[in-house]
């Protein structure tokens, strides 16, 4: 019960910020342009600063050197989910025009805008390296396989744009993480004024992320959410199969308990907020993607405390 109440408190902090973003959008304070600006500030400024400051201030070279082999867990988990998505698509008779989008939403997680704040609220800064390991795998797979699948739903022939893909994979948050790792490995100590500046800027990450989610949920329109077999299928991927598969992969692995807990939680995050943007760009069903993002985000508020209580008993 203590674990459940603790996780419920952490999720409540996030829910309040999301609700505030939603209400301010309803009052006309935020619009689509505001959403784009906040997303840019978070992903291109605040989050990279947060990465550098946290990695440099809290981790040693030895701790970071042990992280890269852990990439195998999220990569293998998403590979299994990807294979499973074909069977689910067939079982649910998902229309051809939404099959790629369905598969992409089935096996990719919202590791930054929801995953990072959730893990920080529940576990604190010590969870960041494991969050980032999952983020590296998830981001790479989404911007390659995930985007390709969504493209196939569109009106144009699907193809890989390697230059654009590499630009998305090596995004500012990942580059911030890499800079922090290099500084730690080289033993570089940042001056106090620069550390303080990075801390101030990095502190924008979590509230900015939650405001962005609140704005996106208002724009999608909660009244448009309809429970149907496709939505339940995505729910099964995000909140049932993903954590079960990750649990099976890590439960007996000789890795830190915190890593197991973070990976299981990260695997069960909502659909990526990038999915509607990519769908709109390539002429796929962006409205379904936006509604699914909102529905899975709302349902995650229920799932996360339950899942957090369960992972406490690993």
According to the model, what pLDDT value does residue 164 have?
A: 65
Mean pLDDT calculated for residue range 62-77: 84
**pLDDT reading at 312 higher than 60:** yes
pLDDT per residue as tens digits for the range 262-291? 999 999 999 988 888 888 878 888 888 888
According to the model, what pLDDT value does residue 162 have?
A: 63
**pLDDT reading at 157 higher than 60:** no
Q: Which domains does the chain have, with CATH numbers?
A: 2-311 (1.20.1530)
Rg (CA), the chain: 19
For residues 95 and 101, give the distance between their C-alpha atoms in angstroms, rounded to a whole number.
11
DSSP 108: -
Helices (H) and strands (E) in the chain, counts: 18, 0
Residue 266 near residue 115, CB atoms below 8 Å: yes
**pLDDT reading at 40 higher than 90:** no
Residue 119 near residue 268, CB atoms below 8 Å: no
Residue 213 near residue 114, CB atoms below 8 Å: yes
**pLDDT reading at 304 higher than 60:** yes
For residues 146 and 149, give the distance between their C-alpha atoms in angstroms, rounded to a whole number.
5
For residues 4 and 33, give the distance between their C-alpha atoms in angstroms, rounded to a whole number.
38
CA dihedral 114, 298, 36, 14 (to 10 degrees): -50
Closest CA to 135 of 228, 65, 89, 71: 71
Higher pLDDT, 302 or 253: 253
Mean pLDDT calculated for residue range 55-82: 85
pLDDT per residue as tens digits for the range 1-35? 565 666 666 677 778 888 899 999 999 999 888 88
Reduced 3-state DSSP string for 195-230: HHHHHHHHCCHHHHHHHHHHHHHHHHCHHHCCCCHH
In the numeric block, which tokens belong to residue 168? 């998305």
| Those residues with Cβ within 8 angstroms of residue 120's Cβ, 6 or more apart along the chain or in another chain | 127, 128, 131, 206
Map residue 126 onto helix, strand or coil.
helix
| Those residues with Cβ within 8 angstroms of residue 106's Cβ, 6 or more apart along the chain or in another chain | 81, 82, 84, 85, 88, 233, 234, 237, 238
Closest CA to 213 of 275, 276, 294, 137: 294
Average of per-residue pLDDT values in the chain: 86
According to the model, what pLDDT value does residue 39 have?
A: 84
pLDDT per residue as tens digits for the range 190-236? 899 999 999 999 889 888 888 888 888 888 777 778 889 999 999 99
Q: At what angle do helices 99-107 and 72-92 cross, to 10 degrees?
A: 140
In the chain, the N- to C-terminal Cα span, in Å, equals 15
Long-range CB pairs of 179-183, under 8 A, 24+ apart, other chains included: 179/48, 179/51, 179/52, 180/51, 180/52, 180/53, 180/54, 180/55, 180/56, 181/55, 181/64, 183/52, 183/55, 183/56
Mean pLDDT calculated for residue range 54-75: 81
| 3, burial (CB in 10 Å: exposed 0-12, middle 13-18, buried 19+) | middle
For residues 204 and 42, give the distance between their C-alpha atoms in angstroms, rounded to a whole number.
7
Closest CA to 275 of 128, 130, 113: 113
């Amino acid at each position: 019960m203590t674990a459940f109440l603790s996780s419920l408190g952490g999720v409540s902090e996030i829910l309040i910020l999301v609700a505030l973003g939603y209400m301010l959008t309803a009052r006309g304070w935020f619009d689509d342009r505001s959403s784009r600006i906040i997303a840019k500030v978070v992903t291109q400024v605040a989050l990279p600063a947060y990465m550098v400051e946290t990695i440099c201030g809290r981790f040693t070279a030895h701790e970071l050197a042990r992280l890269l082999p852990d990439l195998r867990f999220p990569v293998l988990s998403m590979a299994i989910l990807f294979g499973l998505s074909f069977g689910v698509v067939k079982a649910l008779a998902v229309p051809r025009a939404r099959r790629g989008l369905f598969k992409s939403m089935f096996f990719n997680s919202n590791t930054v805008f929801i995953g990072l704040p959730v893990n920080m609220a529940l576990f604190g800064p010590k969870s960041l390296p494991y969050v980032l390991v999952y983020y590296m795998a998830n981001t790479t797979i989404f911007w390659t396989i995930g985007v390709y699948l969504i493209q196939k739903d569109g009106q144009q022939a699907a193809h890989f744009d390697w230059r654009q893909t590499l630009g998305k994979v090596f995004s500012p948050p990942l580059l911030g993480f890499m800079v922090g790792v290099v500084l730690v490995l080289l033993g570089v100590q940042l001056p106090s004024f620069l550390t303080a500046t990075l801390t101030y800027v990095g502190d924008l990450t979590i509230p900015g992320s939650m405001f962005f989610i609140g704005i996106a949920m208002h724009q999608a329109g909660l009244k448009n959410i309809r429970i149907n077999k496709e939505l339940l299928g995505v729910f099964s991927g995000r909140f049932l199969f993903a954590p079960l598969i990750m649990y099976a992969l890590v439960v007996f692995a000789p890795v830190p308990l915190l890593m197991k807990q973070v990976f299981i939680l990260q695997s069960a995050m909502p659909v990526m907020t990038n999915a509607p943007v990519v769908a709109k760009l390539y002429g796929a069903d962006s409205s379904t993607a936006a509604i699914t993002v909102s529905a899975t985000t709302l349902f995650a508020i229920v799932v996360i405390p339950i899942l957090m209580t369960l992972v406490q008993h690993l």
